[in-house]
Structure 1
Amino acid sequence: MKRILFALIGAISLSACAQAPQGAAAAAKTDPAKPAAEASKGAAPKVEAGSADARAVDAIRTLNPNVTIDKVGPAPMPGFREALAQGQVVYVSDDGRYLFLPGSGGALFDTQVKKNLSEDSLAGMRKDLVKTIPASERIVFAPANPKHTVTVFTDVECGYCRKLHSEIAEYNRQGIAIEYLAFPRMGIGSDDYKKMVSVWCAADRRKALTDAKSDHGSVASKDCKNSVTQQYNVGQRAGLTGTPMILTADGVQLGGYVPPTQLREALDKLAAESKKPAGAAKPTAAVAAPVGGL
């Protein structure tokens, strides 16, 4: 299971199923109710007070006080320190302000305002990509008068996707409309892909999706002209690294599985932040993570 970058800002640790292909049986056995154990108050290497190394440790701690930092020292590029934190490489500017996390997608954070500086351009790109999927090709579960609408790239075999869908009524009670797009993480042509095609070809897509995500995971096999491949390609271009992936109407990525109440809180906060005067700091998200880590 991969964790995206938002956890570092004390926001989200991605509860998601990895994109890498794996057997359906293994995916079905995933128990999203039992995530990896949270890290206890993490240790850190001894550093000289006031040094660049100390500022790097403090910067990481500011964003996530529980993270374990195994090593800190000079980075390959001048002006930065390199830290190893819970299996990930983190680069922090010598003054401790900017933190860069390489890997999937990469992100540059301003630790003073706790903002993902990469997110604005990425969000706009994701928003434009999602627009290419016609509304008629989305499977929608919505309350009568939604306060927020999110797009969720989903997979029928992923344990966290199933957990999210099992709580769909509560998301709707929270005023959240969910528009599903298909992302068969096992790849085009896989059994997973064929199941999702069957869902999108069903006369009642909502029922078919619910049936496919049930414990038995059954759905009548069907084929037709469909947009599953297009949706999968859009997910890849949007930087999806695991399912589910939740996007706001503005293209901001809120993580993988996020409990209904916490998702509503995050959406409310983002909506409030968007009304602040120009130049005011706008956090990427603010959800208490159910899973610890980077």
Structure 2
Amino acid sequence: MIKKMLGTIIVLILLPNAYAADVSEETRKTIIDKLQQARPDLEYGAVETSPIDGLYRVRINGTQFFYANKTGDYIITGDMYQALPGMFAPIKDLAAAKLRKEMLDSLATKDMIVFPAADVRRYILHVFTDVDCGYCRKLHIETVPELNMAGVEVRYLAFPRAGLDSPSYRKIASAWCAKDKLAALTALKNRQPITENVCKDNPVASHFLLGQKIGITGTPALILEDGALLPGYSPAAELLTIMGLDENSDG
């Protein structure tokens, strides 16, 4: 539904992290105290102004956030968009993007399933995926080959949405444990069975927990090189435009 409403997204509006200094300690305390009364289980961080007057961005659990009014009585979750001519452009959270990038950069590439660029690598795209997700299959079958041909290396991380005690986990873990990981993952994406082989110390659980930590709630979830999060399926042409790799770009 949101994809149909937004159409092609080709702009990411940068939201600087300098807003926090504008929030008084009194306002921060009022908002946090109210929120802690409602959800003491969450880890609250900075309270920052947003582009909308009277609406504050409250950081939770590191890279996630929601918006609250000045008293903390009401909150809004979800992404914020700016209305521009011909499109709704998502506002990118620079601080969260930086944390995502740092976390992904710390991971060993050998623990990912990597579909390399066909020729010279021009871009690295991380994708949290699930083998029982229709749009993940569509992305893998239709989009990933085009991205590879355009110089994009796609690095998959596992995110079995049904959890770590599920058939989805066993299937995707078996792909990570297969001798030919690329072939096994592609077979599952094409609804073809593979031999179940959940090997010891496979990285699926760590990928899943990392995904939750950095704000992944569904699949596919695409992380750009700068750490920006793009949730959901996108065709190759749209992604190449966002990456600056389309035919009209100098990238």
- 1:119 and 2:117 aligned: no
Partner residue of 1:134?
108
Under a length normalisation based on structure 2, what TM-score does the superposition of the two structures give?
0.64
Mapped pair 1:185 → 2:161: yes
Percent of paired sites with the same residue:
34
Unmatched 5+ stretches in structure 1: 13-77, 81-89, 93-100, 276-294
Alignment check: 8 A CA contact 1:150 1:248 kept: yes
- 1:215 deviates by 3.0
- Once the 2 structures are TM-superposed, how far is the Cα of residue 126 of structure 1 from its aligned partner? 1.1
Equivalents in 1 of 2:89, 2:133: separation in Å?
A: 30
Q: Structure 1 residue 91: deviation in Å?
A: 9.2
How far 1:171 moved relative to its partner? Answer: 1.5
1:147-166 equivalent positions in 2, closer than 5 A: 147-166=122-141
C-alpha deviations, 1:185-209, integer Å up to 9, x for none? 1111100001111111111110110
Q: CA deviation at 1:129?
A: 2.0
Over the aligned positions, Cα root-mean-square deviation in angstroms equals 3.4
Quickly say closer, same or farther: Cα 1:269–1:223, change in 2 above 3 A: closer
1 or 2 for the larger relative contact order (CA 8 Å, sep ≥6)? Answer: 1
Q: CA 1:91 to 1:232, structure 2 compared with 1: closer, same or farther past 3 Å?
A: closer
Task: Kindly indicate which of the two structures has a greater share of residues assigned to helix.
Answer: 2
- How far residue 138 of structure 1 moved from its aligned partner, in angstroms, is 0.9
**CA drift at 1:9:** 9.9
Cα distance in structure 2, aligned partners of 1:154 and 1:259: 16
Match of 2:215 in 1: 239
Cα drift, residue 163 of structure 1: 0.4
Partner of 1:251: 227
Unaligned runs of 5+ in 2: 11-52, 56-66, 70-74
The one-letter amino acid of 1:164's match is L
What is the count of residue pairs matched by the alignment? 186
| Equivalences for residues 4-83 of structure 1 within 5 A | 11=9, 79=54
Tell me, yes or no, if the aligned pair for 1:9 and 1:115 is still in contact at 8 Å: no
CA distance in 1, matches of 2:170, 2:77: 30
Quote how far apart the aligned CAs of 1:133 are: 2.4
Aligned partner of 2:194 among 207, 214, 219: 219
How far does residue 118 in structure 1 lie from its aligned partner after superposition? 5.5
Contact 1:174 1:260 in 2 (8 A): no
Deviations 1:143-170 (A, max 9, x none): 2212111000000010000001102221
Secondary structure of 2:156 counterpart: strand
Residue matched to 2:38: none
> Once structures 1 and 2 are overlaid, which stretch shifts more, 260-269 or 183-192?
260-269
